[in-house]
Structure 1
Amino acid sequence: MFPSENGNHNPVVYDSKRKEIHKDKFPLSEQVFLYLCRLRNGLSIKDLAFRFNIKVQTVSAVINSIAKYMYPRLGSLSYWPTRNVLIENMTEAYRIDFPTCLAILDCTEIKTEKPSSLKQQSQLYSTISQQIR
């Protein structure tokens, strides 16, 4: 997917507002690894900046740029398990309450200010067990 780093060609296009990431200090292989750490482990941008010893702005630019590069190449790939696999992996309670439903897509995002009280913060968090019926 990515050409070898021995050549000087970096196919990733960075945001025009940012200077290109210095390849000698932060090679493409590490940028991809940073991106994968963000996806797989959900590490925060500040955490990644600390771990890779780079600026928070650089982490953000790398994540956005790698995502924009990879989307046209991987976005058309889709994996959807077969009906039998979905039913096998369904919890018993879900299978009883929703026998014909195989998927729930929820992309709701509501921006809020972060309350200073931990109790109020916890009330903003939603889990699967708190479904509205």
Structure 2
Amino acid sequence: MATPTYIYKIVPSSAPPSSPLPDALPVSDLDKADNFIHLSTALQVPETLKRFFGNVEQVYILRITYSQVESKVKWEDSRGTGPGGVGEPDTFPHLYNDLRLGKNEVESVVKWERGSNDWNAAINKAKEDAWFIY
């Protein structure tokens, strides 16, 4: 699989990122417990939204330029236990940088709203705007 241009962090609207972004955003309980920041490629975001944010009305999507964090990313299964190849469907980018994700890592932020049944309208709009790309 090709190397992604961007990788993404999904943040629930209950923990909105401040503007302007600080040096380090608050870290989720899951990221703290696993000691890395869970990220997704554009191909993985729809399933991640469905699986973990299906009942959430709004999320913030943080876009991270992959080349800027590549040296600190490990491609692993969702639990961070097995190595995998860059961009493989069941292999996720995990950021190992002392749990710091902020203005130096995040290229841009958008807010998505879940439609009546799913996230498809938000995803399609972001693709049309050329914001949500692999």
Q: Same fold, TM exceeding 0.5?
A: no
The two structures have a TM-score, normalised by structure 1, of 0.24
**TM-score (structure 2 length as normaliser):** 0.24
Greater helix proportion: 1
